[in-house]
Chain A
Amino acid sequence: MSAPAMVGRREFLKTGAAVGGGLLVSWSMPLGVAGAGAGKAGAAENQVALNAFVRIGTDESVTVISSHSEMGQGIYTSLPMLLNEELEADWSKIRVEAAPVDKVYNHPLFAMQMTGGSTTTPGEWEHYRKMGALARTMLVSAAAQEWKVDAASCQVDKGVVLHRTTGKRATYGSLATAASRITPPAEVKLKDAKSFTLIGKSTRRLDTPSKTNGSAQFGLDVSLPGMLTAVVARPPVFGGKVAKVDASDALKVPGVKAVEQVESGVAVIAERFWPAKVGRDKLVVEWDLGPNAGLSTEQMLRDFAEQAKTPGTVAKKAGDPESALKSAAKTLTAEYDVPYLAHAMMEPLNCVVDLRANSCEIWTGTQFETVDRARAAEVAGLAPEKVQIHTTLLGGGFGRRANPASDFVREAVQVAKVAKAPVKVVWTREDDLKGGWYRPMWHDRFAAGLDANGEPVAWTHTIVGQSIALGTLFESFLIKNGVDDASVEGAADLLYGIPNMQVDLHSPKIGVPVQWWRSVGHSHTGFAVEAFLDEVAHAGGKDPYELRRKLLANQPRMLAVLELAAQKANWGAKLPPGVGRGIAGHFSFDSYVAQVVEASVGKDGAVRVHRVVCAVDCGTVINPDTVKAQMEGGIVFGLTAALKTEITLKDGKVEQSNFHDYQMLRIFESPKIEVYIVPSSANPTGVGEPGVPPVAPALTNAIFAVTGKRVRRLPIRASDLAEA
């Protein structure tokens, strides 16, 4: 972007932030990085900003500024739907553009600009509607002033202001400049739900056309004049350092411009990707492996199991679980294990940096703009305001692109410092899978006590696994009384009515970087809790669905999704021979999800998932088809974790490298999925993540139903299920 355009954007931000005075700005963004849609939306057109979230063009185009990243979850459609519910422009004229980094675009629930935690719709639900309503008010006022009529006597319809008695009409585009000079009211009344015309109606995504013809611009697709491309050789063990580099062969590769040491390793900087990659293959690096060279996940499994036998920090206590266990008619215990997992977004990490003496521009698909900007500024030695981030489309995020240390952004700025030219740092698939920041490995140890009727009266759950927040800037915010909420979510807030319960936690410090991964702590608690509850039901001679119903007597919303899923899946009806049915429910990100899985197991132990029935209550639904898509995607994501993936370490080294040994679920393994949405008028709650947690336990419960074998360790191993 040219310097004047940068200034224009900053000016706009200053003014737009106040929502008060609008500003006429001329936009000259580089084609293609303007956001979704045709890639050219909003480029080089005279547009009027009515506030920081919407601009109206003289051509009647309406550009909605998305303060959140589009990573597949459909937010580039849902946010414009919210805004336009009140603005009432012609939907076919709506375009969407990624916001620059600025305080005005901070998440309403957090003091930073970010996308994650399934919080965008809940956080923006009122905000984007209000921005639309304010803009509409300004447009109507402008028309009323010009016509010298009472604004209250004007109406709007699809981007036109009308005055019925005089027959006057004016389009938003023709009113925008005058409207931008109007001071918006401090408060504005929003529509009642019964008047919604967009919210709640399945609406085609605005970004789909660009994702079917190759024009959608991801970070990896960004190209700047004179840009170089770099790949970085990183240590084979976390925390390792470069001891010695022999770059002589790398430098002989035609196209390789430089080999430079950076904090994270050795950067090979070339004219293009391929010479950079070939150059890196020819590097001879001697590594000082550091303190983590002995790490082994096999050993950690044993260590975690030992640690779980000792009491941890109490996260939740109700009643007297110790006495209740002692006096129970029957007790049972079980241990569950889940591995480290990589996010494995289809678009490997990448970051483009144009570092100048007094500015730093970054193009990347990120979920964490505020943090990335602060980190980039530190590395660049600039004030944060001198750093601008252009958020591109994300080729998947799943949490990885919300890195608490901004690892891929910091590194790219460091490379830019030594490259002395605009540079794109590209991670290969191997770099991505071996690069850490995994979903933590977890061990869950349970004990339950049943009364004479076979109903659970005591429940204890000891969790062992690394804290994600520890050592990050979120530590004080997320860790309370020694408990990282993300470690116990889904366990300490159980909805089941069990009178005596305790959840405690061990958070071992291990040199493997860990991070939030789609559904975070729920990705292990959902599995362990719902699988163990199935064991409890069987131990007490109860049907697992009926036991859940009983324990959820005081949880009407969870009960409703459970009953809906069971009913749609014909719970209790006969299945073909060899097919088992399992059920699980989980409350996460304030949403209620229940799933029923039908699966069979071959003689060789191979698991086949035939059908998944899913019911969800996520409050008011903005775009029903997006909710369905997120449940479908969450189910495949959860099944991949249940059936396929694990990251293991031996001698400190990650053993997996690409999709042959870190396998994804494929189309021929993907089940039939049915999604049912419970109608609700409650405020919207999370959608991106809650579909993930219930599917693994519903599957292992189905496997138990058909084989009588309990799966207590993910991923499910055929060898554990094969007939002897």
Chain B
Amino acid sequence: MTNFFVNGKAVQVDADPSTPLLWVLRESLGLTGTKFGCGMALCGACTVHLEGKAIRSCVAPVSRAEGKHVTTIEGLSSDLTHPLQKAWIELDVPQCGYCQSGQIMSAAVLLAEIHKPTDKDIDEAMGGNICRCGTYSRIRQAIHRAAELSAGGRTR
């Protein structure tokens, strides 16, 4: 049994402790917003927060979450009001959308750490997240926009 918190709620999971957190979230807890892309921490589609840090859940054994707080895309906001979600919608960032949960979760940690990130900050924080549809230029714009929104900027 592994006990931890997901999006603020206590959960108890009966899975082999070596099972990657990704599959526990998706299959045991039904939180399918976190995606499987590579299984080797190469693409970032599975990015979630563990104690506020971005991790690749496809290579993190669920045992690593014991007693800790995990946040998934479903826990980012209950009503699409996170500045990143607003910016993503405003700029219509997603195409197929499959990688976007991971993109947003990586960006959320970036914005929490650096309120007004530069392009270079974005390159460094987002370099581990692949988008095959090629939405990178919009991801960059949307992170800048979310930073503005967080700082109290008015919606365009």
Contacts and interface: CB of A to CB of B under 8 A. Distances in A.
B39 A429 contact: yes
B55 interface: no
Given A214-B32, A665-B134, A666-B127, A658 B42 contact: yes
A635 B16 CA distance: 43
B136 A636 contact: yes
A632 B97 contact: no
Given A208-B94, A667-B126, A637 B134 contact: yes
B85 interface: yes
A526 B133 CA distance: 20
A629 B80 CA distance: 22
B42 A667 contact: no
Interface residues of B, number: 60
Nearest to B98: A395
Contacts of A398: 132
A74 interface: yes
Interface string A204-225: 1101111111111110110100
Contact of B16 (A216, A274, A634, A666): A274
A535 B47 CA distance: 46
A72 B96 contact: yes
Interface stretch (A119-127, A344-352, A712-720): A344-352
Nearest to A398: B132
Interface in A395-454: 395-398, 426, 428-429
A332 B71 CA distance: 61
Interface stretch (A18-26, A98-106, A668-676): A668-676
A277 B110 CA distance: 33
Interface in B81-119: 84-85, 88-89, 92-101, 104
B100 to A, nearest CB: 5
B59 to A, nearest CB: 12
B70 interface: no
Contact of B139 (A71, A273, A274, A667): A667
Interface string B118-156: 000011101101111111111110000000000000000
B92 A272 contact: no
A275 B14 CA distance: 13
Contact of A214 (B31, B43, B93, B136): B31
A346 B96 contact: yes
A164 interface: no
B40 interface: yes
B73 interface: yes
A631 B131 CA distance: 15
Contacts of A205: 92, 94
A660 interface: yes
Contact of B40 (A73, A274, A637, A659): A659
B33 A214 contact: yes
Contact of B133 (A215, A220, A426, A633): A633
Contact of B19 (A221, A274, A397): A274
A217 B30 CA distance: 12
A651 B19 CA distance: 34
Contacts of A658: 38-40, 42
A395 B96 contact: yes
A655 interface: no
Interface residues of A, number: 62
For A211, A221, A429, the residue with the greatest tally of chain B CB atoms inside 10 Å of its CB is A211
B66 interface: no
Contact of B74 (A214, A344, A348): A214
A632 B138 contact: yes
Tell me the dominant secondary structure on chain B's binding face.
loop
A290 interface: no
B4 interface: no
Nearest to A214: B33
A129 B147 CA distance: 40
B118 to A, nearest CB: 12
A376 B112 CA distance: 49
Given A212-B85, A634-B134, A218 B98 contact: yes
B33 A213 contact: yes
B96 A396 contact: yes
Contacts of A73: 95
Given A213-B73, A660-B40, A667-B126, A633 B134 contact: yes
A396 B88 contact: no
Given A272-B23, A667-B123, A667-B127, A393 B35 contact: no
A215 B132 contact: no
Contacts of B57: none
Nearest to A394: B96
A341 to B, nearest CB: 12
A625 interface: yes
Given A204-B89, A211-B94, A396-B98, A346 B76 contact: no
Contacts of B84: 212
B114 to A, nearest CB: 16
Nearest to B130: A664
Interface in B29-75: 30-40, 42-43, 45, 72-74
A212 B100 contact: yes
B35 A220 contact: yes
A72 B133 contact: yes
A291 interface: no
Given A274-B19, A667-B123, A74 B95 contact: yes
B32 A72 contact: no
Nearest to A424: B27
A216 B97 CA distance: 8
A463 to B, nearest CB: 27
A274 to B, nearest CB: 5
A254 interface: yes
Nearest to A426: B36
Given A71-B96, A73-B95, A215-B33, A344 B132 contact: yes
B133 A209 contact: no
Nearest to A660: B42
Nearest to A668: B123
3 A-B pairs with least C-beta separation: A214-B33, A636-B134, A395-B98
Interface of A: 70-74, 204-205, 207-218, 220-221, 223, 229, 254, 272-275, 344-348, 393-398, 426, 428-429, 625, 629, 632-637, 640, 658-660, 664-668, 670, 672-673
Interface of B: 15-16, 19-20, 23, 26-28, 30-40, 42-43, 45, 72-74, 76-77, 80, 84-85, 88-89, 92-101, 104, 122-124, 126-127, 129-140
Given A72-B96, A212-B88, 12 more contacts: A208-B93, A208-B97, A213-B73, A272-B23, A395-B97, A632-B134, A633-B134, A634-B134, A658-B39, A659-B40, A659-B43, A666-B130
